[in-house]
Amino acid sequence: MVVDQRDAREGQARSIGVADGLVVPMKSGNAGGGKEPWFEEDAGRGAGQGIGVNLQTPESVQKLQNALHAKAKEAPDFRFYALYDKVYRGDILDFAYRLARSNRGAPGVDGQDFVAIESVGVERWLGELAQALKEKTYRTQAVRRVYIPKADGKQRPLGIPTVRDRVVQTAVVLVLTPIFEVDLDPHQYAYRPERSALDAVRHVHRLLNTRYTEVVDADLSDYFGSVPHAELMRCLARRIVDRHLLALIKQWLVMPVDEDDGRGGTKRTTTAKDDKRGTPQGAPISPLLSNLYLRRFLLGWKTLGLERKLRAQIVSYADDFVILCRGSAARAEAAMRSMMKKLKLTVNEAKTHVRRLPAERFDFLGYTFGRCYSARTGRAYLGTRPSAKSIRKVSRKIHELTSRRTLLLDADDQVARLNRIMTGWANYFCLGPVSRAYTALDRHAASRLRRWLCLKHKKAGGSAARFSYESLYQNLGLVRLSTTTRNFPWAKA
């Protein structure tokens, strides 16, 4: 199948600036409810998502990270024995606090938020925290659990650690990421410096167009809640022998969870401690730990020679992964299931399938991969486009923003909110033939905004005349996604 390069690159990503040094991209584990980075409304094209994107890493922190990274790269078998004291260094804790604050978030079980901390003084608060860590009197607190609705009507648990725990975990991530970054597989794209979901999408697209067209579209059941503690600690101990740092991480693995009992009270569960499984939901440390454990799967795949024997390559983003094969996808799926059993992880039967392109298609990281057709020539090619599910998600978000509950908002503020959502979505969904999706969202947003304006101004009819498309775009400044594709690089060729 011939690839039409212009159509395949309709939404080629534009480059944006990134902070200097080894920036540590962080995201609250699986708490966000979805893995596509467009959930961050102002997500930049191609940049690593999460906190750390808009903050300059202090020179002293960069120096430490670069030294740790260089040592880990130089000596693959070296085990770091003196790291705990780096966690409570003033510059590390201060930067960790600013990173945690930039990620916002609600207070945990203690009710303390950033405003409360700043009212008593950040320097004093960090000093007391550093002292507790130094004297080893720091103890983690319970995670507050709330539930957020999913698209299928179910609810996803969201864990909210205390600000204190979030800051310490962020400090540990700042210290550990430069070490473990050296060891992670290059095909792991989640929560890593200079890598993003868009890079994973491009990688899959390249493989498809080099005849890796039999695909295992895989999914794991409750991966973050299933990681076995003993095996995970062995992954950490392979590089870390600092017993105080390892003990700190053990505390977080067994954090109790507090949630509403439905009767105005709180119930506490200790599932992670009892089952000896799971990474702390919603915690800054969770992405690093989950990447470390999934590394065992990717490393084993290559060590056992499966990549070569089956001609099958894995591309992963957190617990989402696909196996692209030139050989038999059925054999690759069987090998994957066998390995997951040994890793004590469960394959989600309902969401794991074998797809053979171009006859079939599959979704990965919000994109649909499959047969596309050139708008200019009509020729077929293997490409990407925003998935129907992703379009429905952002459409629901636009619908929610323009509901009656928001009628008290100023019109300019409402348009600004819509623009952030649509621009953030388009910043991620910028690869492949995107024009039809952009046009559909433009129409939906304009229709919803016109309805909202009529309700706000109590106009029963005549919305088309009073609130024309021209007034929405030119007077109110509503973004028009369908015009942005004119500025993509291919259009200027």
How many other C-beta atoms lie within 10 A of the C-beta of residue 224?
25
What values do phi and psi take at 51, rounded to 5?
-70, 155
- Edge to edge, the sheet with strand 353-356 lists 312-317, 320-325, 214-218, 353-356
Distance separating alpha carbons of residues 168 and 174, to the nearest angstrom: 10
Return per-residue pLDDT of the chain as tens, 493 residues.
443 433 433 433 333 223 344 555 554 433 333 455 444 444 444 444 333 446 899 999 999 999 999 999 999 999 999 999 999 999 999 999 999 999 888 999 999 999 999 999 999 999 999 999 999 999 999 999 988 877 667 788 888 999 999 999 999 999 999 999 999 999 999 999 889 999 999 999 999 999 999 999 999 999 999 999 999 999 999 999 999 999 999 999 999 999 988 888 899 999 999 999 999 878 999 999 999 999 999 999 999 999 999 999 999 999 999 999 998 999 999 999 999 999 999 999 999 999 999 999 999 999 999 999 888 888 999 999 999 999 999 999 999 999 999 999 999 999 999 999 999 999 999 999 999 999 999 999 999 999 999 888 876 555 556 778 888 988 899 999 988 765 554 433 2
Instruction: Decide: 205 and 5 in contact? Cβ < 8 Å.
Output: no
Q: How far is CA 246 from CA 181, 280, 293, 315, 344, in A?
A: 18, 15, 15, 29, 22
Radius of gyration from C-alpha coordinates of the chain: 24
Q: What is the pLDDT of residue 460?
A: 59
Instruction: Please give the Cα distance from 273 to 428 (Å, whole number).
Output: 38
Bridge partners for 423 per DSSP:
none
The whole-number pLDDT of residue 49 equals: 39
Look up the pTM and report it: 0.86
SS (H, E, C) the chain: CCCCHHHHCCCCCCCCCCCCCCCCCECCCCCCCCCCHHHCCCCCCCCCCCECCCCCCCHHHHHHHHHHHHHHHHCCCCCECCCHHHHCCHHHHHHHHHHHHHCCCCCCCCCCCHHHHHHHCHHHHHHHHHHHHHCCCCCCCCEEEEEEECCCCCEEEEEECCHHHHHHHHHHHHHHHHHHCCCCCCCECCCCCCCCHHHHHHHHHHHHCCCCCEEEEECECCHHHHCEHHHHHHHHHCCECCHHHHHHHHHHHCCCEEEECCCCCEEEECHHHHHCECCCCCCCCHHHHHHHHHHHHHHHHHHCCHHHHCCEEEEEECCEEEEEECCCHHHHHHHHHHHHHHCCCCECHHHCEEEECCCCCEEECCEEEEEEECCCCCCEEEEEEECHHHHHHHHHHHHHHCCHHHCCCCHHHHHHHHHHHHHHHHHHCCCCCCHHHHHHHHHHHHHHHHHHHHHHCCCCCCHHHHCCHHHHHHHCCCCCHHHHHHHCHHHHC
What distance in Å separates the CA atoms of residue 7 and residue 435, rounded to the nearest whole number? 10
Contact by Cβ (8 Å): 106, 127? no
Residue 12 near residue 18 (C-beta atoms within 8 A)? no
Residue 24: the pLDDT is 54
Residues with Cβ within 8 Å of residue 91, at least 6 apart in sequence? 58, 60, 61
| Alpha carbon 198 to its chain's center | 11
